[in-house]
Amino acid sequence: MPGKRIEINFEVYDSIGELSPEDAFLLESARAQTANAYAPYSNFCVGATARLVNGELVSGTNQENASFPAGICAERVLMSTASGLYPGVGIKTMAISYLNKNGHSDHPISPCGICRQSFAEFQIRTGQSIRLILSGQSGQIFIMQDAVDLLPLMFNAEDMK
């Protein structure tokens, strides 16, 4: 039986100095937002900042809870905030960074599976692709042109019809 292959494309930058001023601003904001995370259990602080299609900026941080796994990721906090403040407005670009208090924060990380599904739903709902900037506090930076590239073969509402 013939096989199929799924590939994703993303850009790799060695430092924030290689980014456009707008992208560098978003990433610096996401890095700074990690200080506002509530992560007393994992010590893994995540911050996210997005520029919406209307030009507004929205940020979010991860929020843990002693009643694990009742916490919520920074990306979903940001999307919930954006939806509440600006209903129906898409996210143009979201920068995501982290501070690992137990180790290194010098390479990009990728959003969890729940966040990937949430990106897909948000994009469908708003009709706008979300461009992602992924980075730690330093080191390489990955830029993905469309968040759904992280969720190939995604499940969505059309599958339930």
Rounded Cα–Cα distance for residues 43 and 122 (Å): 28
Spatial CA neighbour of 26 closest among 98, 93, 89, 76? 93
**Which is the catalytic residue, given 11, 22, 56, 75?**
75
Residue 75 is a catalytic residue: yes
How far CA 91 is from CA of 77, 78, 83, 157, in Å, comes to 13, 10, 10, 20
Rounded Cα–Cα distance for residues 154 and 161 (Å): 15
Helix (H, G, I), strand (E, B) or coil at 69: coil
Catalytic (active-site) positions: 75
